[in-house]
Amino acid sequence: MSEAHESRVIVGSSRRSFLQRANLAAIGALVGSAVPLGRPRLASIAAAAPVGIEGKDGLTVLSERPLNAEAPPHLLDDEVTPTARHFIRNNGIVPADVDPAAWELRIDGLVERPMTLRIDDLRSRFEVVTHRLVIECGGNGRSGFEPPARGNQWTHGAVGCAEWTGVRLADVLEAAGVKPSAIYTAHEGADRHLSGAPGKLSISRGMPIAKAMDPYNLIAFGMNGGPLHPMNGAPLRLVIPGWPGSCSQKWLTRIWLRDVVHDGPKMTGSSYRVPRYPVAPGTSVPEEDLEIIHAMPVKSLITRPRTGERVTGRELDVAGHAWVGDSEVAGVDLSIDFGATWQRAQLSPPHNPHAWQRFAGRIAFPQSGYFEVWARATDVAGASQPFRAAWNPKGYLNNAMHHVSVHVG
C-alpha cells in the first residue's frame, strides 16, 4: 500500500484549534458533539483549522466522531511509544469530567467475592507493576485489503508499545475467586454509545479465562510514567497485549465473569471475527462461519527511514519493530529486490514478554535508483509475514509485510 496514501488531517500540538484550547475533561463532550465528517470535508477543514488533540502530536485523524487517529510509521520509531503518538481507537462517546479518586471498578458474575474497587484500593491491595505492552487494533492495515472492507481505513499505525503501569488482572481475579464454572470475561467501560442512548454500551468484549490469567495483562492507571491519556482510557483501562486491541477495555468500570462466551456489543456478528476457512476476496460469509480472533499474527513495521527518503551514498540504516500475539519474534529479514533475496537484520529480545522487539540492519545498494526496502518477521514457531494477508469481510489481521521506498543517489 502506498505511503503517500492521501494526506489526511494531521494533528499536532504545535497547531492551535478549538480542541486544543478546550479543557481536557471537556474533550469527550466536544468530540461527541462534533458532526460526522466525510474525508473531503476533513481535508477542507484541515486547510482552515487543523484538528488538534491535546497531548497528541502528529497523528493522522481517520474519523472525528468517534475519534480515531493513527501515527505514521516514522513517528513510531521510539522503543517505548510516547503517549503523544499512541493511536486512538474510539467506538463511542468519551466520558467527560472523569474523577480518578471516585472511579469504581466492579468485579462480579462468577466470582466467590464480588467486589468494587477504587484506584487507591488497586494500588494498596495489589502489587503495582510496569510493563511495555503492544496494543494493536484488530483492523490495523485494513486499508490494504481489496476489495476494501468497511471500517476505519487504518494504514500501519494502529499499534503502539507504551509503558503501562497498573496491577495484574490475574491478581485481582484471584482475589475475587474465579468460580470453576467461569469460562469467559466480559468488560465494560464508561463511554456511551454514539447514539447517546443511556445505558447502551458502545463495545464490550471479553476473553477466555486462560488468556485472562496471562500475568502480563494489566488493569492500568499509568502510561509512560504519567496518567493515562483521556483518549487512551483515563483513569483506568485493561491492557491485554497480543490479542486484538478491542480486548483492552478503556474507561474500565466492570469485569464480569461468565459461563458462556461473552456476547456483548462487538463480540458477535462480523465484529472481530474471521472466516473459519479461506474465502475468495469479496465473498459474503455467513455469520456462523466466522470465529473470534484470538492472538494477533506476527508483524513488523519499518520506522526508519521514512518512506520516500533520498539516500546519499550507497548505504542505508534501516530500523523498526517486530511483534507477535502471545509469542516471540525469532528473526527479521530485509529485502531490496522484492523478496528475491533476503538479508538478516539484528533483532533485540523483548524488554519483557509482549513488548515489541527492535530490529536494525544496514543495506548496501548495488546501484543508484529507486528501491523498496521490505521487512519480514518470523516468529519462534516459524510463521512469517506474507506478501498479502488473507482477505476477510471486515478487514482484520492484515500482517502483510511493510515496506518503504527510497531514492538512492
Ligand X SMILES: Nc1nc2c(c(=O)[nH]1)N[C@H]1C(S)=C(S)[C@@H](COP(=O)(O)O)O[C@H]1N2
CB nearer ligand X, residue 10 or residue 194? 194
Amino acid at 190: A
Least distance in angstroms from the C-beta of 91 to Mo ion = 8
Task: Single out the segment in contact with ligand X by CB under 6 A; choices: 52-60, 83-91, 106-114, 273-281.
Answer: 83-91
Short-list 50, 67, 62, CA closest to 13: 50
Q: Which does 334 bind (CB under 5 to 8 A by kind): Mo ion, ligand X, none?
A: none
Binding status of residue 89 toward ligand X by CB under 6 A: yes
Select 86 or 258, whichever has its Cβ closest to ligand X.
Answer: 86
Residue 74 near which of Mo ion, ligand X, none (CB within 5-8 Å, type-dependent): none
CB-based burial of residue 310 (10 Å sphere; 0-12 exposed, 13-18 middle, 19+ buried)? exposed
The yes or no reply on residue 348 touching ligand X (CB under 6 A) is no
Query: Quick check: 211 binds ligand X (CB under 6 A)?
Result: no
Residue 300, helix vs strand vs coil: strand
Question: 89 or 358, CB closer to Mo ion?
Answer: 89
Amino acid at 151: G
Task: Rule CB under 6 A: say whether 90 interacts with ligand X.
Answer: yes
250 binds Mo ion (CB under 5 A): no
CB 173 within 8 A of CB 184: no
Between 59 and 373, whose beta carbon lies closer to ligand X?
Answer: 59
In the list 83, 152, 153, 202, the residue contacting ligand X (rule: CB under 6 A) is 202
Which phi and psi angles does 353 have, rounded to 5°? -50, 140
Q: What is the largest CA-CA distance in the chain?
A: 69
Residue 89 touches Mo ion, criterion: CB under 5 A: yes
Per DSSP, the three-state class of 363 is strand
Q: Which of 31, 88, 98, 218 binds ligand X (CB under 6 A)?
A: 88
C-alpha cell recorded at residue 39: 474525508
Identify which of residues 93 and 119 has a Cβ nearer to Mo ion in the complex. 93
**189 is a site residue for ligand X (CB under 6 A):** yes
Cα–Cα distance, 290 to 207 (Å, whole number):
16
User: Nearest 5 degrees, angle CA 127-CA 129-CA 132?
Assistant: 160
